[in-house]
């Protein structure tokens, strides 16, 4: 081999190595973690959607609410009446206003009555979040 050919092979090898190294770094340090994160976010969103229950209040106690489910992320609850407990960790929200205070249980009977439409985020038999639109505010997106 001549010196010129050898130099060309060395330069091309260095360029190929740099390209493969940079490509490998991008794939393993940038692309693959992003793909994994997106898959995990999608799975968590699906789990969160399954926790949603919407319906009309049938009865309410200070730390318990019973609703007739009209919409649920988990189809097995559609049309059923469910009762869930609340505690000091349950987030209670009327429209855009948070009613619950951190670390304090909220007395639901002060705010809810049978017939009010509520949205719940339920984990097991416990409400993680309770939300409703006060009279006159309508549904989200309405004016």
Over residues 105-117, the pLDDT tens digits come to 999 999 999 999 9
b/e 45-55 (16+ beta carbons within 10 angstroms → b): eeeeeebbbbb
Q: What is the pTM of this model?
A: 0.71
Q: For residue range 33-80, list pLDDT tens digits in order.
A: 999 999 999 999 999 999 999 999 999 999 999 999 999 998 999 999
Structure tokens at 112: 């809810």
Q: For residue 107, what are the contacts with CB-CB under 8 A and spacing of at least 6?
A: 62, 63
């Amino acid at each position: 081999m001549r010196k010129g050919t050898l130099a060309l092979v060395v330069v091309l090898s260095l360029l190929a190595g740099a390209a493969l190294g940079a490509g490998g770094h991008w794939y393993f340090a940038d692309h693959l973690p992003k793909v994994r994160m997106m898959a995990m976010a999608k799975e968590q969103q699906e789990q969160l959607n399954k926790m949603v229950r919407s319906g009309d209040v049938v009865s309410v106690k200070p730390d318990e609410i019973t609703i007739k489910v009209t919409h649920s992320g988990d189809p097995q609850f559609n049309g059923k009446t469910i009762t869930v407990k609340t505690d000091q960790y349950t987030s209670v929200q009327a429209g855009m206003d948070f009613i619950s205070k951190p670390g304090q249980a909220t007395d639901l009977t002060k705010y809810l009555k049978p017939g009010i439409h509520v949205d719940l985020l339920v984990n097991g038999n416990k409400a993680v979040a309770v939300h409703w639109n006060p009279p006159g505010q309508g549904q989200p997106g309405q004016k």
